[in-house]
């Protein structure tokens, strides 16, 4: 498919869809949690013939890769280095036709270079002509490169929320104090939930072009597409959840130099939420986007709104993120709850069996079991207009995807079962019996691994002022330099603003 055809794919009469490309996937699979994902990627890299292209917000060459499922090759056990840094070297030594490209955000570059053996690995990679590592600084001040993409041979690809870095590995069991969940420098970290889509077919060609364009924008050399090949590095025993489906690709990118502002992800969120008739299931690291809260508010004010169920972490990581994201989340949720006249909006956080909070890093949305969307974009303002992001989605309304609905439904049930610490049958029967996801969750025991309603912390006046100002989470690059009085979650016209004004009026009357 040439550029003109692919750019116009899916566009009907009127305004164009907020989609960069549609491309076919021969197979697709949702990897749930990084233990499974790291195993899949390790096996796929082992089968790479031409190029491995790793694009991420972060990399850590010290992480250990699992053996995966391919224990035997050519009649004997395959041995490989466990550390990612040594494994990449091993791959290019074994296959003299293979090149490896790694693209990472340039934030804290000096600190990154002195992560234990990381500097040693970078030097060893630098000495290999077929390994090229680049820090991406091609964005306005205050923005970041946030995509998490893997492309192998332009045949196999992954896109989602999981970086090949430390403190990501975990299993769906999210065991308390799992000794396998340790940092390279020692010490344990807490339970971590994430998802990424793996695919093969023409969609990998499209994501390969996206990666090469970004590589060039970041100052890298011109990289040619891989030569067409029949063989796919799809792991032999990985059973696909989808076959012969059309994948949509949407992006966010800030205006930078001659590059235009791209807000496909934000526009697509709005369109897909407006399409919902029965429910919207969301997993997101942050809930702080004005645009998304606005469209949810519109839907909640309808006479018979769809159910909205959000799975969020109890709190953001780090002081600055807590100030920026948690305070904005409180303000938005208070406003949405005021609009929720039918009790259709619920937000939960997951807990391990001992009550330890499970950190939600996933970026996933399922609408009516007809749309499955996975990517790097959080539901915060940065992901809508500042940071470079990439999401992929399967829409059962597309002509090629009429068969995708049952698989999307199974994934929703599987995710709910993981969070609830229950069997998939229990979850499915509970939804049928009680009529909604939230009612099913509330009917289950709160012992063991489970979901709890997210408590809203009390905000001081200073916290409220900072949270509503948008100072730490602007929507567009230019807003970072606007006066504070012109910023804010509620500054635009719409239902969200009206609900906010009503809340203020009621507070003043009570005072």
Burial-class residue 405 by CB neighbours within 10 Å (0-12, 13-18, 19+).
Answer: middle
The string of pLDDT tens digits covering residues 21-33 is 999 999 999 999 9
Give SS3 for 258. Answer: coil
Contact 162, 329 (CB under 8 A): no
Burial-class residue 4 by CB neighbours within 10 Å (0-12, 13-18, 19+).
Answer: exposed
Domain regions of the chain by residue span: 16-248, 249-510
| Bridging pattern class, strands 192-193 and 359-360 | parallel
- Inform me whether the pLDDT recorded for 367 exceeds 90: yes
Q: What span, in angstroms and rounded, lies between the C-alpha atoms of 31 and 36?
A: 6
Closest CA to 159 of 211, 116, 121: 211
pLDDT of residue 479: 62
Answer positive or negative: Cα dihedral of 174, 177, 182, 187.
positive
Contact 264, 251 (CB under 8 A): yes
Please give the average per-residue pLDDT across 448-459, as a whole number.
90
Helices (H), 10-117: 34-46, 84-94, 109-113
Indicate the range of 33-47, 116-130, 332-346, 351-365 predicted with least confidence.
116-130
Same fold, 16-248 and 249-510: yes
Topology given in CATH for the domain delimited by 16-248: Endonuclease; Chain A (3.30.870)
pLDDT of residue 287: 95
pLDDT bracket for residue 484 (50, 70, 90): very low
The string of pLDDT tens digits covering residues 262-300 is 999 999 999 999 999 999 999 999 999 999 999 999 999
pLDDT of residue 481: 44
- Please indicate whether residue 20 or residue 71 has the higher confidence score (pLDDT): 20
- Here the tokens at position 123 are 């030097």
- Inform me whether the pLDDT recorded for 88 exceeds 50: yes
pLDDT bracket for residue 67 (50, 70, 90): confident
Contact 465, 309 (CB under 8 A): no
Contact 227, 205 (CB under 8 A): no
Percent of the chain with pLDDT over 70: 84
Please give the average per-residue pLDDT across 399-408, as a whole number.
98
Indicate the range of 132-141, 321-330, 500-509 predicted with least confidence.
500-509
The string of pLDDT tens digits covering residues 128-164 is 899 999 989 888 888 889 999 999 999 999 999 999 9
Q: Confirm or reject CATH 3.30.870.10 for domain 249-510, answering yes or no.
A: yes
Q: Please give the model's pTM, rounded to 2 decimal places.
A: 0.90
Indicate the range of 17-21, 207-211, 349-353, 487-491 predicted with least confidence.
487-491
Q: What span, in angstroms and rounded, lies between the C-alpha atoms of 96 and 433?
A: 59
452: which residues sit within 8 A by CB, 6+ positions away? 348, 349, 350, 351, 446
Give, in order, the Cα–Cα distances in Å from 302 to each of 341, 470, 493: 9, 28, 18
pLDDT of residue 7: 39
Please give the average per-residue pLDDT across 321-348, as a whole number.
89
């Amino acid at each position: 498919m040439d550029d003109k055809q692919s750019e116009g794919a899916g566009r009907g009469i009127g305004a164009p869809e907020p989609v960069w490309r549609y491309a076919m996937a021969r197979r697709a699979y949702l990897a749930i949690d990084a233990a499974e994902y790291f195993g899949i990627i390790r096996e796929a890299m082992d089968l790479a013939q031409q190029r491995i292209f790793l694009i991420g917000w972060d990399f850590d060459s010290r992480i250990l890769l699992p053996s995966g499922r391919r224990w035997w090759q050519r009649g004997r056990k395959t041995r490989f280095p466990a550390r990612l840094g040594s494994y990449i070297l091993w791959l290019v030594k074994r296959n003299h036709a293979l090149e490896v490209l790694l693209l990472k955000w340039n934030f804290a570059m000096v600190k990154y270079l002195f992560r234990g053996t990381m500097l040693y690995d970078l030097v060893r990679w630098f000495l290999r002509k077929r390994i090229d590592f680049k820090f991406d600084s091609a964005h306005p001040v205050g923005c970041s490169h946030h995509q998490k993409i893997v492309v192998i041979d332009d045949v196999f690809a992954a896109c989602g929320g999981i970086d090949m870095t430390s403190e990501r590995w975990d299993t769906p069991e999210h065991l308390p104090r799992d000794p396998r969940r340790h940092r390279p420098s020692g010490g344990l970290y807490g339970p971590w939930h994430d998802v990424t889509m793996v695919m093969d077919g023409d969609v990998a060609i499209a994501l390969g072009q996206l990666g090469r364009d970004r590589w060039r924008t970041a100052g890298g050399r011109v990289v040619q597409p891989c030569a067409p090949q029949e063989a796919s590095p799809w792991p032999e025993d990985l059973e696909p959840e989808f076959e012969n489906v059309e994948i949509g690709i949407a992006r966010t990118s800030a205006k930078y130099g001659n590059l235009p502002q791209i807000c496909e992800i934000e526009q697509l969120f709005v369109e897909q939420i407006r399409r919902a008739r029965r429910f919207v299931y969301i997993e997101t690291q942050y809930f702080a986007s004005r645009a998304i809260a606005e469209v949810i508010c519109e839907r909640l004010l309808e006479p018979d709104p769809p159910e909205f169920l959000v799975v969020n972490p109890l709190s953001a990581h780090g002081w600055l993120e807590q100030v920026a994201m948690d305070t904005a989340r409180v303000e938005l949720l208070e406003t949405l709850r005021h609009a929720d006249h039918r009790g259709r909006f619920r937000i939960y956080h997951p807990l391990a069996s001992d009550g330890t909070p499970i950190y939600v890093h996933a970026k996933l949305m399922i609408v009516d079991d007809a749309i499955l969307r996975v990517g790097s974009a959080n539901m915060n303002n940065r992901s809508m207009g500042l940071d470079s992001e990439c999401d992929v989605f399967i829409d059962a309304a597309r002509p090629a995807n009429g068969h995708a609905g049952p698989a999307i439904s199974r994934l929703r049930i599987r995710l709910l079962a993981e969070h609830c610490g229950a069997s998939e049958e229990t979850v499915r029967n509970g939804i049928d019996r009680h009529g909604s996801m939230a009612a099913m969750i509330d009917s289950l025991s709160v012992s063991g691994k489970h979901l709890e309603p997210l408590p809203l912390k009390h905000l001081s006046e200073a916290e409220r002022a900072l949270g509503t100002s948008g100072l730490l989470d602007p929507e567009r690059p230019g807003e970072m330099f606007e006066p504070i009085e012109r910023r804010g979650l509620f500054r635009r016209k719409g239902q969200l603003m009206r609900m906010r004004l009503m809340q203020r009026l009621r507070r003043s009357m009570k005072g």
